Amino acid sequence: MHLELTPAWSDFRAELRRAVGETTYDLWLAPLEPRAWDGALLLLDAPPATQAWLADRFGSLLERCARVAFGVAVRVAFTAAPAKPGRGRALAATGAAAATTPAATPPAAADHFIPRCTFDQFIIGDGNRLAHGAALAVAEAPGQTYNPLFLCASPGLGKTHLLHAIANYITEFDPETTVRYTTAEHFTNGFLSALHSRSVEDFKHLYRDVDVLLIDDVQFLASKAKTEEEFFHTFNALHDSGRQLVLTCDRVPRQLDGVAERLRDRFESGLIAELSPPDRSTRIAILRKRAELDRIAIPDPLVYELLADRITDNVRSLEGGLIRVVAHHSLTSKPLDATLTERVLDQIRPVSQPVSAAPGTTPSPMTTARIQAEVAAHFGITVEELVSPTRAARVAWPRQIAVHLTRELTPASLQTIGAAFGGRNHATVVHACRRVAERAGVSPDDAADIASIFAHLTAVTDDRVC
């Protein structure tokens, strides 16, 4: 029986994933494959260039996780993985020649790319459509369009995913094209190492003898004059010979303080594509795709909606929220539903509390009853109507606003809010919040009503004697 087909191997990989986290696991440990197992020695396939570093960095961890998974003391060793036909020449971006790289210093990139980071797995939305399209165009015709391609966004919005997607696409469909991925930090460390070991020429060949160079986080070059000089010449050597450069950054080139103007000009000479935070529908699609990739069954669709409503800033945090909910489900055996999701979200993304009163003033208590009274008065209905079973339009819309504001301004749970509005369930509460957000986005009158009620609720009363 092949070891990779056994439950013990699956348990081993799961232990590693839990121990190091998703990013580190995907980059360094996911590609490891079992070559042999004799009950005491586990032999793993690994690229020759990274074996020493993997052993130094993860050796003890690998043996510890293997002991848990296999139930016996295990010694872990590495062997070279055989070359696989049909793959492109994916190159390691080491800081200098392999012989001069210290064992304790990680290579700047592995000679593989993150397998799950493909164009197929990238969820397209309005905020990243241009960046995705440009990256795909570059992958299909390196050096012929959008050169350089400069992707900029805050952390966690998909820049690195697109870099690896380009690399994976090229190595699959154009095996003769050489691709190198690294980060600006690793480029810097490699250059300093090359200076120290007097192997600068080797370093130059490492980055200039490629067809496609992918550089992550170029903002790290700021205020590093010698490294910036070397990168400038590397950029020119590749660009002038028609080879492709793709760069990522957390800001647009003109905001790169500490980077020489001539390099900023180079960055601006191609296409600049910005990625913005995903909208709600895109966030839900991202969560569904992540669950599908990880083969996680989510029986309650409200799990996706709650996560998407509470975590809005970036994809990494969004996926992290899903992982945390699933972990709580696995560890506590509680149902994977809206109740568990809300409990986890209250720990990691608590609902915003009302603004504190100014000195000398006393805010009215923010309660569900107060919100209900304010909304009812604004729309000329009674609180009794607001919490009644009626679905009449003149009552249903104010009720949805009251539910939404209660969710925003109090720490009450979905179940508690539903109970306060006539015993409604948490699905109705989520629907009300979603409906309010949708109408406020398209109707100025509805947005004005909500803003007016919110202003009255958050106003403070002055208790000083005038």
Which residues have CB under 8 Å from 203's CB, separation 6+?
Answer: 95, 96, 190, 191, 194, 230
Q: What's the burial of 392, exposed, middle or buried (CB within 10 Å: 0-12/13-18/19+)?
A: exposed
Interval 310-331 mean pLDDT: 87
* Amino acid 69: pLDDT: 86
- Which segment of 141-155, 353-367, 425-439 scores lowest on mean pLDDT? 353-367
> 418-459, pLDDT tens digit by residue?
889 998 888 888 888 888 888 887 888 888 888 888 888 876
pLDDT band at 99 (very low <50, low <70, confident <90, very high): very low
Strands in 26-162 per DSSP E = 33-37, 41-46, 75-80, 89-91, 149-152
CB 45, CB 32: distance < 8 Å:
yes
* Amino acid 132: pLDDT: 95
CB atoms within 10 A of CB 355: 10
Q: Where are the alpha helices (DSSP H) in 107-146?
A: 129-140
Domains of the chain and CATH, by start: 3-80 (3.30.300.180), 89-274 (3.40.50.300), 280-348 (1.10.8.60), 361-462 (1.10.1750.10)
Tell whether pTM > 0.75.
no
Q: How many angstroms separate the CA atoms of 123 and 129, rounded?
A: 9
pLDDT band at 365 (very low <50, low <70, confident <90, very high): low
Q: Which residues pair with 461 in a beta bridge?
A: 362
Tell me what the pLDDT averaged over the chain comes to. Answer: 83
Q: How many angstroms separate the CA atoms of 344 and 341, rounded?
A: 5
* Amino acid 100: pLDDT: 34
Interval 25-51 mean pLDDT: 81
pLDDT band at 351 (very low <50, low <70, confident <90, very high): low
> 184-229, pLDDT tens digit by residue?
988 999 899 888 888 889 899 889 999 999 999 999 998 888 999 9
* Amino acid 295: pLDDT: 84
CA distances from 193 to 50, 181, 186, 227 (A): 17, 18, 10, 11
Interval 307-330 mean pLDDT: 88
> 284-315, pLDDT tens digit by residue?
999 999 888 888 889 988 999 999 988 888 89
* Percentage, residues of the chain above pLDDT 90: 34
Strands in 197-355 per DSSP E = 212-216, 244-249, 271-274
CA dihedral sign, ordered 31, 36, 38, 40: negative
Cα dihedral angle (229, 235, 237, 242), rounded to 10 degrees? -170
Is it the case that residue 333 has pLDDT exceeding 90? no
* Amino acid 462: pLDDT: 38
Token couple for 278: 């995903």
* Amino acid 354: pLDDT: 46
pLDDT band at 176 (very low <50, low <70, confident <90, very high): confident
